[in-house]
Amino acid sequence: MRYLHLILIVLVPFGAVITALPLLAQELSPVANSKAVPIERAQGATLSKAVGHYARSRSLLIAAIREFDNATNLVDPDSLIDAEHFRTVLLERSRDLEHILSPQPRVSKEGVRFEPDSRLLGEAPR
């Protein structure tokens, strides 16, 4: 079995204790599902649910960056990991999710069509 290790920094009265907790790689959810619809063809409730999950995962990554920054203000983990690289990786992944969440044109068999939101359009002057 493959193991991942979670590094845990525990603050104790006379310093910090650093320990590595093994995590089973199989406990992590799979990256892609064979039944998943490509994002270009997703629509309706499926697309809405996916956007919600992507938005939540982005906000959790940003929260993780903030928590990591709070921890590094207390204890410097550079002897175990490259803290700046770790923070940069989390930031890049949140930007990737931002790219997924940004408005994309709808693709049809005829080509790309941009459909404006009618609520934002004013009436043409007469």
- Residue 75 structure tokens: 């204890």
Of the CA atoms within 13 Å of residue 6, those in its CB half-sphere come to: 9
Length of the chain: 126
The answer to whether 101 touches 35, Cβ cutoff 8 Å, is no
Q: What is the pLDDT of residues 53-68, one digit of tens each?
A: 999 999 999 999 999 9
The answer to whether 87 touches 65, Cβ cutoff 8 Å, is yes
What's the confidence (pLDDT) of residue 42? 84
What are the extents of the domains in the chain?
A: 50-101
pTM for this entry: 0.58
- Residue 49 structure tokens: 């649910």
